[in-house]
Amino acid sequence: MRFFATLESIINTSQPVEKIARFHDFYQNYQQGRILFEEAQMFKDLPHPSYAAICDIVPATTLPKRTSLSTAKGKAWLLHSIMHIEYSAIDLALEHACRFTGMPAEYYDDWLKVADDEIRHFLMLEEILQKLGYRYGSFPVHAFLFDVSHKCRDLLTRMAVVPRYLEASGLDASPLVIDKLRRIDDEASRMMIAALEVILEEEVDHVQKGDRWYRYACAQEGVDPSDYFDIVESVLPGARKPKAYVNVASRKRAGFSCDEIAVISSQPCEES
């Protein structure tokens, strides 16, 4: 089984059940040392997201407004939107591993582990969604993460923008969602909270991995890591815009300095 060719094929797989089964088979073989790292090849950008066959993709600005979280449909819609991020993150982690050749073995270990985590997150949320009477594809989605990833074809930009900026934003969003669900306090909300708390804890590690390989790329290219926001803004203008809430503790655990946090937040932060 070849490393890059197999991963590219898995990324292109459109059905979640098949994608997940194929990855689990690949990952088991990888962990047992049965994968061949073939000669470097150029990763081919997908013309459309792998989920295009099962989801109705619309511009992010035209997504319908979600209904109240007090209703089953409102909870399902929220779950679906988080599931979609997790499903997108599966492909992104696999692409991190597939797009960049000649990296240290630990790099591939890291992103395949992340892909495995993202699959587990997706399946946890899917189980709850199905209990509410819905499935992945029941609601429209946007392709923002897919579109952004196409603008990040070098390692430095990819690590700065995807795990260290976009995924780190999830560290800020999750506690706010959990607080809203706690105020509802019904069975479905409690199940969602339990899943989101697991995801939040494990996403810290994912952002930390992004931080590690961002700094590796900086060292390789002679870039000062403090140029982080300049790099992100080259892809996402407005990245320095202050946020109403930042999960300072989780961001610090993931590798952010208080100076970086101060760019987007006035919340107290003390270096450890």
Taking only the tens place, the pLDDT of each residue in 11-43 is 999 999 999 999 999 999 999 999 999 986 778
pLDDT over threshold 90, residue 67: no
Taking only the tens place, the pLDDT of each residue in 208-263 is 999 999 999 999 999 999 999 999 999 999 999 999 999 999 999 999 999 999 99
Domains for the chain: give ranges and CATH numbers: 54-206 (1.20.1260.10)
Q: Is the dihedral of CA 93, 94, 98, 104 positive or negative?
A: positive
pLDDT over threshold 80, residue 115: yes
Burial class (CB in 10 A: 0-12, 13-18, 19+), 205: middle
Banded pLDDT at 108 (limits 50, 70, 90)? very high
Taking only the tens place, the pLDDT of each residue in 41-55 is 778 888 899 999 999
pLDDT of residue 272: 73
Q: What percent of the chain has pLDDT over 90?
A: 92
Nearest alpha-carbon partner for 90 in 172, 35, 23, 32: 23
Token pair listed for 196 = 């989101």
pLDDT over threshold 90, residue 165: yes
* Helix spans in the chain (H): 3-12, 16-31, 72-99, 105-131, 144-149, 155-161, 168-184, 187-221, 228-233, 248-253, 258-264
Banded pLDDT at 153 (limits 50, 70, 90)? very high
Token pair listed for 63 = 């997504």
- Which whole number is the average pLDDT over 106-121? 98
Nearest alpha-carbon partner for 90 in 24, 34, 32, 159: 24
- Return the number of other C-beta atoms located less than 10 Å from residue 72's C-beta: 15
